[in-house]
Amino acid sequence: MSYTPTYKAANTAAHLITMHFDELHHTALALGESELAAKPNKQEVEYLIDVAFWTSLRREEGYLPKISIAFLSPEQTSKPLVFDQPIKFNADTVSKIAPGLERAGIHLCVWHKKGELYIWGSSLNIPNFCFVVDVSEPGVVVVKHRRIYGIGKYTNVAVLKGEQIRIIDKNSCLNRDCPPVLKALLDLTVNATWNDPINILIQFAASMRAHKRGGALLIIPTNDEEWKHSIIHPVKYLSNPSYKGLAGLASRGGSHSEIFSQSALRREVEYVAGLTAVDGATIITEDFELVAFGAKIGRAKYKPTVAKILFSEPILGNEEKILLPGELGGTRHFSAAQFVNDQPQTIALVASQDGHFTIFSWSKKQELVMAHRIETLLM
């Protein structure tokens, strides 16, 4: 290719990302999967990341570009919007077309021709394991791929922020207790229905992070009463009876083709997740009944104050470590850790105003509260 990338981190990350896609395809083919997207080579990976990075730093009529770039040919998708003539793939071109394609689910499509990459059009549909590069904020590039059955959030492979490279370690849960939602984000489990409980929790996490006000969500077992011992009473915003709008959709049978039901579920998730912006914690059951919001967490009687937390982040090169509660975050983090320490049958999701996102769960192996930092998987 005649294009010479100038973003050094793109070159550094390209080899590991290419290896990820090689392994992904090898495993899928061995399991009999078909209709997989074409694999990008190292040069193509570097090229797409480089263009995406420089696009992220541009402004078009005062606006910062937001766009999703997918690597596939027109033959690999259905009902594509194909341009009459291919367009040169560079930061200048992408930044100019970005305003028209920034809505969620729309991809600018790139493919190779005579040794060069070009923009051939756009599409709403991409194949399994399609290589995607997202531009959502200045200097930040997220590399991801579509899941094998196309259900739920795309799987993140790497996040590049300036010269900082964060490669997702999909093996980070092999020897530790990880909650199901983290395993799903790492693509270790397959959630094949639109209303799978783990898919819904992932939507909750993304929505909580998106409102940027910070918040805490406590998930308790259905018909559990123990949680009340870890909440200061009276609870100002207690739902009586519990709100079942989301629970009804979550329990509904059906397939991922039910567009109306999926849309209704997204509205309900946004509705309940929005309540986490209120000071205090939002409490839901495992079957998604809303119990309360704005709840104040307090240490349960006869329970010890949480003294230490096992911290981990699913990034290559990161080792789990013991932290004091005050080292992890502010009052919201300490309260969530205390709640899980008192109520090990629960999990807590905590969003920070700065974009950090943490799952608190109880580790039976370590007999400690674990804090899993996962914002890299939600971007």
Are residues 90 and 223 both part of a single domain?
no
* Radius of gyration of the chain, Cα coordinates, nearest whole angstrom: 22
Are residues 298 and 369 both part of a single domain?
yes
Are residues 41 and 138 both part of a single domain?
yes
Q: Quick one: how far is CA 267 from the chain centroid?
A: 18
- pLDDT at residue 334 in the model: 95
- pLDDT at residue 125 in the model: 92
Are residues 123 and 230 both part of a single domain?
no
Domain boundary among 109, 133, 167: 167
Kindly state the DSSP code that residue 73 receives in the 8-state scheme. Answer: -
Q: Which two three-digit tokens encode residue 341?
A: 């320490």
Kindly state whether residue 78 falls inside one of the protein's structural domains: yes
Are residues 342 and 244 both part of a single domain?
yes
> Which residue reads 């986490």 in tokens?
276
- pLDDT at residue 28 in the model: 83
Kindly state whether residue 47 falls inside one of the protein's structural domains: yes
- pLDDT at residue 209 in the model: 94
Kindly state whether residue 112 falls inside one of the protein's structural domains: yes
Domain that holds residue 93: 8-167
Instruction: Give how many domains the chain has, as a whole number.
Output: 2
Residue 205 CA: distances (Å) to CA of 43, 109, 269: 34, 28, 10
Q: Enter the pTM of the model.
A: 0.90
Are residues 144 and 197 both part of a single domain?
no
Q: Which two three-digit tokens encode residue 303?
A: 């329970």
- pLDDT at residue 253 in the model: 58
> Mean pLDDT of residues grouped by 10 in the chain (379 residues)?
85 95 89 87 96 93 90 94 94 94 93 91 94 94 86 88 94 88 84 78 94 96 93 94 89 59 87 96 96 96 92 92 88 95 97 94 93 94
- pLDDT at residue 149 in the model: 67
Kindly state whether residue 24 falls inside one of the protein's structural domains: yes
Are residues 242 and 312 both part of a single domain?
yes
Kindly state whether residue 336 falls inside one of the protein's structural domains: yes
The CATH number of the domain holding residue 234 is: 3.40.1700.10
| 52, 69 Cβ separation under 8 angstroms | yes
135 contact partners, CB below 8 Å, separation of at least 6: 52, 55, 56, 65, 66, 67, 68, 69, 98, 141
Kindly state whether residue 183 falls inside one of the protein's structural domains: no
Are residues 263 and 135 both part of a single domain?
no
Are residues 214 and 138 both part of a single domain?
no
Are residues 160 and 195 both part of a single domain?
no
Residue 122: helix, strand or coil by DSSP?
A: strand
| 209, 355 Cβ separation under 8 angstroms | yes
Rounded to an integer, what distance in angstroms lies between the CA atom of residue 83 and that of residue 7?
A: 28
Kindly state whether residue 185 falls inside one of the protein's structural domains: no
- pLDDT at residue 256 in the model: 46
Kindly state whether residue 13 falls inside one of the protein's structural domains: yes
Are residues 115 and 212 both part of a single domain?
no
Are residues 163 and 63 both part of a single domain?
yes
Domain boundary among 167, 199, 229: 167
